[in-house]
């Protein structure tokens, strides 16, 4: 990132202003499209401004964990393809890709958005595994919130594949939906200087001091958090950030059908 | 059993419906989407840019690098993320299919990266990928002698040649000689040619002939997509 | 007899035939193949006499001698500064070309130009393999302080500048911002208020996106006056 632009971002923020004219807590326009890939059990495309993320759900039959014989599970993955950004490289998942997918995973898992017990086929033997894969198409900042929205949107449209003799018939779907017990939403807040900024652009992200992602349920309960960035957060920062996240996730949830 | 009627009702030399769009990934230097039937490919070009490791640099001209892969959910049975032997081979032949049209002399020591990913697969993904990549390269302003058009033909039951094979046909019992090819529309040169199956020389030559004709239609879709993208800039006045 | 297949300022794509016969000569963005002259780029045709060229509508910056560009100090060596231009090519600004003052070898060079500093500089020389020499000696060449830098498509630079600088003057006057445009597509904008800088940025973005549409000057004028 150009040093001159980093200084410019900081200068504007001291006057509560942003480079693109938005308010500090204002998101860019959000668009959600469903069923963007027919072979997936569920899929969605989310744009936040120029950031675009695809997510798809595939299902397969697996064996349950021994300590949870009556429960299926989810596996969240993210591939940061170099297609989407100058900064992404080919090769095994980077730390950023792993963090992105794990933070999505926890946001869904910890509030039991998906009822794992409903994914049981035969106790102790066969359960459904939900693979949620996330692919950014263009990174213009705030991949985390876009990825989470895309994952939830894909889950909302997902249907069970056809099962014959406990094996999946690939390419054939039932009409039975994966019901979501809850619809958590993630909101990422940046601290740049002494200001809190939401929905950062790529350049704002590169200027950050600290970052906090907060997953919030409909009941305004926090169900996952992740702090990032090189600097620390004060108690007061965290208080403000969680308050803002609760407020904003209510707004963000309205983008889902 | 003779294959008298195609599974989706098409004529033997008929392509599936096509759609192309240029400039779909904002941060890329060039990008495009190419859809044929239910197969959707997207391509992004990044470069010319720095090439590392340095020993791969060519001080005489730029280097082309292609990468093809499927999104995990693009296929009926989930594809494990990461490169496979198949995707690496396709990346390689895609590179060779595109290289003959590219003029990279003006980019010494640099690399032009082409990234192709399949969002939805219903056979013919490498060809759709090449069609998208060719558009993305033009969009990136890389000098080219021509576009590149690609299609897969099939020789079915040892007597019928079909154009633009879909997944159902690919999986037909009795076998199909699947022949993906890339063709330079002006010269008719073939820059990608693969075949698996069994066929006579005559059948193969016939299928390439039909493939060439199909590529004329693909070219028109590509040309229109490029002109649409830059069409607003057509009438330079004031 | 040669025959033109396109008109002036036609939109063409790679491989499109521009002229037939040997009467015409291929210039930049075109090539000859047998009897034909063809385009190698997506761009607009320009015909002057027998010469045909295609001005690209996209593409990264390819450095040229005498171009004024906006570069960044990427590294400092014993003999000068390594400057990058946002593309794959970097170059050298030597002590001799950095200032009209004498800079002693071994001096602390960061006092003149530090890491990350942005410079309005000029390409004095370039080799075939794109090794570049820069200079800071010349009118307007200097270090930039404050403001911000945006990136536009290098081929759109002439449109943002306008005829005899008309477009850019209009933006500067209306917004009160100082604006410097490098041939590498980097545009430096510095004003008194962020709103004015944003307005200048948006005006430049509109020119970039609609660079060859009709009535662009009026459109920009309208935007600057009414914000639409």
The alpha carbon of residue B221 is apart from the nearest alpha carbon of chain C, in Å, by 13
Kindly state the DSSP code that residue B6 receives in the 8-state scheme: -
Check whether B84 has a pLDDT greater than 90: yes
Chain A neighbors of C72, CB-CB under 8 A: 2-3
C15 and chain B: CB distance < 8 Å anywhere? Answer: yes
Averaged pLDDT score across all residues of chain A: 96
Average pLDDT over residues B144-172: 90
Instruction: Tell me how close the Cα of C88 comes to any Cα of chain B, in angstroms.
Output: 4
DSSP string across B57-100: --SSS-EEEEEEEE-TTSSSSPPPSS--HHHHHHHHHHHHHHGG
Under the banding of pLDDT at 50, 70 and 90, the label for residue B1 is low
The pLDDT assigned to C227 comes to 73
What ipTM was estimated for this complex?
0.95
Which range marks the domain in which residue B208 is found? 18-231
Which residue stretches of chain B are H helix?
Answer: 85-98, 125-139, 167-170, 201-231
The answer to whether the peptide bond before residue B53 is cis (omega within 30 degrees of 0) is yes
Find the CATH number of the domain harbouring B136: 3.30.230.70
Find chain C residues with C-beta within 8 A of A19's C-beta: 148, 194, 198
**Range B139-150 average pLDDT:** 98
- Distance between CA atoms of residues C186 and A53, nearest Å: 28
Residue C96 near chain B (CB below 8 Å): no
- DSSP notation for C63-85: --TT-EEEEEEEEE-SSEEEEE-
DSSP string, chain A: --HHHHHHHHHHHTTT--TTS--TT----EEEEE---TTSSEEEEEEETTEEEEEEEEEEEEPPPTT-TT--EEEEEE---TTT-TT--SSSPPHHHHHHHHHHHHHHHTTTSB-GGGGEEETTTEEEEEEEEEEEEE-SS-HHHHHHHHHHHHHHH-EEEEEETTEEEEEEEEEEE--BS---EEEEEEEETTEEEES--HHHHHT-SEEEEEEE-TTS-EEEEEEESSS---HHHHHHHHHHHHHHHHHHHTT--
Q: Tell me if chain B has a CB within 8 Å of the CB of C210.
A: yes
Mutation to test the C interface, candidates B141, B146, B186, B225, most C Cβ within 10 Å: B141
pLDDT band at C105 (very low <50, low <70, confident <90, very high): confident
Distance between CA atoms of residues B158 and B1, nearest Å: 11
pLDDT at C2 over 90: no
If you average pLDDT over residues C5-25, what whole number do you get?
A: 95
Q: What's the confidence (pLDDT) of residue B235?
A: 41
Taking an 8 Å cut-off on Cβ atoms, the answer to whether A19 and C146 are in contact is no
Instruction: Name the packing angle between helices A143-157 and A95-109 (round to 10°).
Output: 50
Percent of chain A having pLDDT more than 90?
Answer: 98
Chain A, chain B: beta-carbon pairs less than 8 Å apart:
88
Gyration radius of chain A's alpha carbons: 19
C-alpha–C-alpha distance, residues C144 and C119, integer Å: 6
Cis ω on the peptide bond leading into residue B48 (within 30° of 0)? yes
Across the interface, which of C11, C128, C155 has its CB nearest the CB of B227? C11
pLDDT of residue B158: 64
Question: How many angstroms away from the CA of C149 is the closest CA of chain A?
Answer: 6
Give the chain C residue whose CA is nearest to the CA of B140: C59
Number of independent structural domains in chain B:
1
Residue B208 belongs to some domain of the structure: yes
What pLDDT, in 10s, does the model give residues A122-146? Answer: 999 999 999 999 999 999 999 999 9
Residue C74 pLDDT class (50, 70, 90 cuts) = very high
pLDDT digits (tens, 9 = 90+) for A4-16: 999 999 999 999 9
Q: Averaged over A104-122, what is the pLDDT?
A: 96
Question: What is the per-residue pLDDT for B237?
Answer: 35
Residue burial C122-151, b: 16+ Cβ < 10 Å; e: rest: bbbebeeebbbbbbbeeeeeeebeebbbbe
Q: How far is residue C214 CA from its own chain's centroid?
A: 22
Residue C18 belongs to what H/E stretch? strand C17-20
- In this prediction, residue B175 has a pLDDT band, given cuts at 50, 70 and 90, of confident
**Angle of helix B201-231 versus helix B125-139 axis, rounded to 10:** 40
Which letter does DSSP use for residue C105 in this model?
T
Give the pTM: 0.95
Task: List pLDDT tens digits, range C161-183.
Answer: 999 999 999 999 999 999 999 99
Minimum CA–CA partner of B75 in chain A = A39
- Could you tell me if C74 and C98 are in contact, meaning their C-beta atoms sit under 8 angstroms apart? no
Range C70-90 average pLDDT: 94
Would residue B156 count as lying in a domain? yes
Instruction: With a cut of 60, say whether residue B169 has pLDDT above it.
Output: yes
Q: Is the Cβ pair A39, B76 closer than 8 Å?
A: yes
pLDDT score recorded for residue A132: 98
In degrees and rounded to multiples of 5, residue A160 shows phi and psi of -70, 140
C198 and A19 within 8 Å at the Cβ level: the answer is yes
Within 10 angstroms of residue A197's Cβ, the number of other Cβ atoms is 25
Contact check, Cβ <8 Å, A39/B82: no
Phi-psi region of B110 (alpha: psi -120 to 50; beta: other; left: phi over 0): beta
In contact, A129 and A187? CB cutoff 8 Å: no
Q: Which residue of C has its CA nearest to B186?
A: C15
Determine, for residues B42 and A83 on separate chains, whether the beta-carbon distance falls below 8 Å: yes
Q: Which of C5, C7, C12, C15 to mutate to test the interface with B (most CBs of B within 10 A)?
A: C15
Spell out which chain C residues touch chain A, with contact meaning CB-CB distance below 8 angstroms.
72, 115-118, 144, 146-149, 188, 194-195, 198
Would you call A83 and B28 a contact, using CB atoms and an 8 Å cutoff? yes
C-alpha to C-alpha distances, A85 to A3, A77, A235, nearest whole angstrom: 20, 18, 34
Q: Which two tokens stand for residue B58?
A: 């060519």
User: How many residues are there in chain B?
Assistant: 238
Q: Which of residues 63-92 of C touch B (CB under 8 A)?
A: 87-89
> Is B57 within the bounds of a domain?
yes
Task: Identify which of C13, C88, C129 has the shortest CB distance to residue B227.
Answer: C13
Query: Residue B117 falls within a domain, yes or no?
Result: yes
C35 in reach of chain B (CB within 8 A): no
Residue at B99 is within a domain: yes
Dist. CA B52–CA B187, nearest whole Å: 35
Subunits in contact with chain B (3 or more CB pairs closer than 8 Å): A, C
Indicate whether B3 belongs to any domain. no
Q: Is C6 on the interface with B (CB under 8 A)?
A: no
Residue in the block written with tokens 């010349």: C138
Average pLDDT of every residue of chain C: 93
Q: Give the phi and the psi of residue C131 in degrees, each rounded to 5.
A: -90, 130
C62 exposure class (CB count in 10 Å sphere: 0-12, 13-18, 19+): buried
Q: What was the pLDDT predicted at C228?
A: 62
For residue B9, is it within any domain?
Answer: no
**Domains of chain C: residue spans and CATH:** 3-56 (2.40.50.100), 68-143 (2.40.50.140), 148-226 (3.30.1370.10)
Q: What does the block give as tokens for A111?
A: 């509030």
Q: Which range among A69-73, B69-73, B154-158, C85-89 shows the weakest confidence by mean pLDDT?
A: B154-158
For A142, phi and psi rounded to 5 degrees? 60, 45
Rg from Cα positions in chain C? 21
Give me the domains of chain A, ranges plus CATH numbers. 3-253 (3.30.230.70)
CA angle C197, C203, C205 (to 5 degrees): 100
d(CA B221, CA B25): 19
Q: Which of C14, C56, C88 sits opposite B48 (nearest CB)?
A: C88
The distance in angstroms from the start CA to the end CA of chain A is: 37
What SS3 class is residue C175?
helix
Which are the contacts of A111, defined by CB distance < 8 A and separation ≥ 6?
A182, A184, A215, A217, A221, A223, A224
Mutate to test the interface with C, among B23, B109, B236, B237 (most CBs of C within 10 A): B236
B8 domain residue, yes or no: no
- Answer whether residue B111 shows pLDDT above 70: yes
**Residue range A18-44: mean pLDDT, rounded:** 97
Q: What is the pLDDT of residues B9-62, one digit of tens each?
A: 999 999 999 999 999 999 999 999 999 999 999 999 999 999 999 999 999 999
All partners of chain C with 3 or more CB pairs under 8 angstroms: A, B
Run of H or E including C148: strand C148-151
**Candidate from C147, C195, C198 with C-beta closest to A4:** C147
Question: For residues A144, B73, B122 and A42, what is the CA-based torsion angle, rounded to 10 degrees?
Answer: -80
Size of interface B-C (CB pairs under 8 A): 109
Q: Residue C206: which H helix or E strand, with range?
A: helix C194-209
Query: A37–B42: do the CB atoms touch at under 8 Å?
Result: no
């Amino acid at each position: 990132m150009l040093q001159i632009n980093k200084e410019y971002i900081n200068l504007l923020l001291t006057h509560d202003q942003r480079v693109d004219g938005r308010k500090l807590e204002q998101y860019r326009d959000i668009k959600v499209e469903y069923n963007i890939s027919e072979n997936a059990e569920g899929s969605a495309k989310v744009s936040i401004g120029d950031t675009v993320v695809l997510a798809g759900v595939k299902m397969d039959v697996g064996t349950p964990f021994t300590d949870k014989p009556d429960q299926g599970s989810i596996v969240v993955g993210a591939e940061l393809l170099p297609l989407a950004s100058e900064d992404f490289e080919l090769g095994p998942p980077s730390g950023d890709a792993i963090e992105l997918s794990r933070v999505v995973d926890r946001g869904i898992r910890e509030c039991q958005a998906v009822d794992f017990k409903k994914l049981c086929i035969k106790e102790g033997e066969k359960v459904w595994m939900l693979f949620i894969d996330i692919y950014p198409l263009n990174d213009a900042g705030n991949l985390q919130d876009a990825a989470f929205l895309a994952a939830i949107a894909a889950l909302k449209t997902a249907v069970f594949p056809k099962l014959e003799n406990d094996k999946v018939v690939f390419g054939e779907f039932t009409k039975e939906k994966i019901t979501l017990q809850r619809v958590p939403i993630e909101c990422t807040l940046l601290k740049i200087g002494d200001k809190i900024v939401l929905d950062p652009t790529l350049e704002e992200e590169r200027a950050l001091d600290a970052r906090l992602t907060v997953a919030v349920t409909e009941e305004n309960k926090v169900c996952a958090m992740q702090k990032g960035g090189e600097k620390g957060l004060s108690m007061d920062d965290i208080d403000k950030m969680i308050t803002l996240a609760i407020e904003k996730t209510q707004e963000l949830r309205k983008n889902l059908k | 059993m003779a294959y008298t009627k195609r599974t989706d009702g098409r004529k033997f030399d008929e392509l599936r419906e096509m759609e192309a769009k240029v400039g779909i990934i904002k941060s890329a230097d060039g990008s495009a989407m190419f859809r044929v039937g239910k197969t959707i490919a997207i391509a992004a070009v990044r470069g010319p840019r720095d090439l590392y490791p340095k020993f791969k640099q060519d001080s005489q001209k730029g280097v082309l690098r292609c990468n093809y892969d499927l999104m995990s959910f693009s296929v009926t049975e989930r594809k494990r993320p990461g490169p496979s032997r198949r995707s690496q081979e396709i990346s390689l032949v895609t590179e060779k299919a595109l290289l003959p049209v590219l003029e990279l002399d003006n980019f010494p020591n640099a690399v032009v990266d082409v990234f192709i990913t399949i969002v939805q697969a219903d056979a013919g993904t490498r060809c759709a990928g090449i069609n998208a990549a060719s558009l993305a390269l033009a969009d990136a302003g890389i000098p080219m002698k021509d576009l590149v058009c690609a299609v897969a033909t099939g020789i079915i039951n040892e007597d019928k040649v079909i154009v633009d094979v879909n997944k159902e046909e690919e999986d037909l019992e009795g076998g199909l000689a699947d022949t993906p090819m890339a063709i330079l529309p002006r010269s008719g040169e073939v820059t990608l040619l693969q075949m698996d199956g069994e066929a006579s020389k005559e059948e193969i030559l016939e299928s390439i002939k039909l493939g060439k004709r199909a590529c004329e239609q693909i070219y028109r879709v590509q040309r229109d997509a490029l002109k649409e993208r830059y069409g607003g800039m057509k009438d330079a006045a004031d | 007899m040669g025959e033109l297949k396109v008109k002036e300022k036609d939109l063409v794509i790679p491989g499109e035939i521009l002229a037939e016969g040997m009467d015409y000569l291929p210039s930049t963005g075109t090539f000859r193949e047998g009897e034909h002259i063809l385009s190698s780029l997506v761009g607009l045709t320009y015909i002057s006499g027998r010469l045909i060229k295609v001005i690209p509508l996209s593409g990264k910056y390819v450095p040229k001698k005498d171009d004024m560009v906006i570069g960044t100090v990427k590294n400092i060596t014993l003999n000068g500064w390594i400057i990058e231009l946002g593309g794959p090519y970097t170059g050298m600004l030597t002590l001799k070309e950095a200032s009209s003052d004498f800079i002693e070898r071994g001096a602390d060079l960061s006092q003149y130009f530090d890491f990350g500093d942005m410079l309005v500089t000029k390409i004095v020389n370039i080799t075939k393999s794109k090794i570049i020499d820069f200079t800071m000696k010349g009118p307007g060449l200097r270090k930039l302080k404050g403001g911000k830098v945006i990136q536009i498509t290098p081929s759109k630079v002439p449109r943002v500048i306008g005829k005899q600088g008309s477009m850019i003057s209009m933006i500067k006057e209306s917004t009160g911002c100082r604006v410097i445009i490098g041939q590498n597509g980097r545009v430096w904008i510095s004003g008194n208020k962020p709103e004015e800088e944003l307005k200048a940025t948006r005006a430049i973005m509109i020119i970039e996106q609609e660079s060859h549409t009709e009535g662009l000057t009026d459109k920009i004028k309208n935007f600057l006056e009414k914000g639409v």
